[in-house]
Chains A and B, each alone.
Chain A
Amino acid sequence: MSFSPVLYTKRILASVQEYSLLSARAFRSLATPPIYWGDIFTQMDSIGFGSLPIVILTGFFTGCVLALQSASALQQFGAVSKTASLVSLSMVKELGPVLTGLMVSGRNASGIASELGSMKVTEQIDAMRALGTDPVRKLVAPRIFATVFMLEFLSILSAFMGIIGGWIVSVGLLGLKSSFYFHETYFSLYFADVWQGLTKPVFFGYIIASVGCYFGITTSGGTQGVGKSTTRAVVMSSVMIIIVDFLLTKLLIGIFGR
């Protein structure tokens, strides 16, 4: 098969269009009845509570590592006391949301894509349509809502665990005082930083669920196709999270001035 750039571009544009249409339909489904609350809660449970261990562990150890690394860098300027503010700012603004997004993407974008993909290739999605249910309303919308909602809390938890990790390292290994660490953390975080940390997960959650659903329901080619969709969903959502993180950071710094 010869590679045709025109055809390739056309195919990409067609996918982008299809993806946008799917998103639009999902939003409309969330704004109009009937809303499948049962499915939303099931998804919240599997996405949110299922991701707790990995989010707690990554958040905690990232905080530990951050404290160690920043302390050794800050030492050169005699500013080891600034460790707390470095840890908290990085965790809240950047690493909490992004790491959680990436971990949840690995776990759930793949899970969503493979579940919907198997339903697609075994005609269960057609069966749902044949029974008069809109699969976007029943399958896509609940996953998007649940992922956005749960990722918000998971990101907060991750940032919190990071700060705790940093505290343990600071007190245990760097010899800082606890009260000093928390005082420093508290006063280095501004409203704008917290806002940034809270805005990002909304976008990341949306990316994870919508990309997972898109690759899931466009699956073709049997079991092999399901495998391909799963891989693509993880790669695509992870890359999109990193790119969107850059754009969002630029935008939010523009708005808040820090």
Chain B
Amino acid sequence: MIIEEKNAADSQHFEGPAIVFDDVCIGFEGNQVLDHVSFKVEQGETRILLGPAGGGKSVLLKLCDGLLRPDSGKIFVLGKEITAMRERDLFALRHRIGMVFQESALFDSMSVEDNVAYLLHEERVPEEEVRKRVEEALAFVELSAAIDKFPSELSGGMRRRVSIARAIITQPDLILYDSPTGGLDPITSTTIIELVIRQRDEIGTTSVMITHRLQDAFMLATHCYNSASKKVENISGGGVDKTTKFLVLNEGKVVFDGTTQELTHSDDPWIKDYLA
């Protein structure tokens, strides 16, 4: 299976946290979107990013991938200071980062197969192997039947899953999920969250996930993937996953940064209100 044969050459080891934000500010036309944001995401951690709409979550995720540049502050990703890198050098680093966009952002001139195979084609992987790996990635997101379709023929939830398949096909060192369940029905959302849990527990990929749905966030914290039964189950004894942590943004500021227990036991009135 693809998820087991992790390409050793691709994942270079590095010391320290996977993501570091050091006093990052960014604004658009006088509108301050992120205001002195600092936090760390350790290797192997799953960070859930919560906050009201327009709070700067998507902007923060794009900063992690170098798609936007901060006005001030430093960002380190996978051990490299991306704020000091040229766009040209960022392209190589981005091969090690998978990104799922809020609106999927599939290439609508390409079939599902070519969308998912995009990175493999770029890396000039032989055609038989490409087909095999695409089939595996689509099986992982339970969309094998859609391989020859075009993005315009898919539903929103299917597009989201194709976009997950496209992001994980090379087993990146870091995955950034922007609202993978946004605007979907509860059943499809659960399917997608199960995929994220599987990716976390089977491979242990570092990831950041934005979500609007608290139930998704808590499902991620309280469930794990059982590789024996091949099912996502409740963690026994009402425990929580230790690698899953939270970051809450409001109006461009970090209002919470910590574990699941710390979040649920927070005394901050705004957080209490937000979780209620």
A1 part of interface (Cβ distance < 8 Å): no
Contact A124 B108 (CB under 8 A): yes
When distances are taken between beta carbons in the complex, the residues of chain B under 8 Å from A126 are 62, 67, 101, 105
Contact B103 A123 (CB under 8 A): yes
Closest chain-B Cβ to A137's Cβ sits at a distance in Å of: 9
- Selected contact of B92 from candidates A124, A127, A132, CB within 8 Å: A132
When distances are taken between beta carbons in the complex, the residues of chain A under 8 Å from B94 are 129-132
B88 part of interface (Cβ distance < 8 Å): yes
When distances are taken between beta carbons in the complex, the residues of chain B under 8 Å from A132 are 91-92, 94-95, 119, 122
Contact B122 A133 (CB under 8 A): yes
| Residues of A in contact, count (CB < 8 Å) | 13
| Residues of B in contact, count (CB < 8 Å) | 22
Q: Number of contacts between A and B (CB, 8 Å)?
A: 49
Residues B98-141 near A (CB distance < 8 A)? 99, 101-103, 105-108, 118-119, 122
A178 part of interface (Cβ distance < 8 Å): no
Contact B92 A134 (CB under 8 A): no
Contact A127 B88 (CB under 8 A): no
CA distance A55 to B166 in the complex (A): 41
Contact B91 A127 (CB under 8 A): no
CA distance A123 to B97 in the complex (A): 17
Contact B88 A134 (CB under 8 A): yes
A75 part of interface (Cβ distance < 8 Å): no
When distances are taken between beta carbons in the complex, the residues of chain B under 8 Å from A130 are 65, 67, 94, 97, 99, 101
Listed by A's residue number, 9 A-B pairs whose Cβ atoms lie within 8 Å are: A123-B102, A124-B107, A124-B108, A126-B62, A126-B101, A127-B99, A129-B65, A131-B118, A134-B91
List chain A positions with a Cβ less than 8 A from chain B: 119, 122-124, 126-134
List chain B positions with a Cβ less than 8 A from chain A: 62, 65, 67, 87-88, 91-92, 94-95, 97, 99, 101-103, 105-108, 118-119, 122, 166
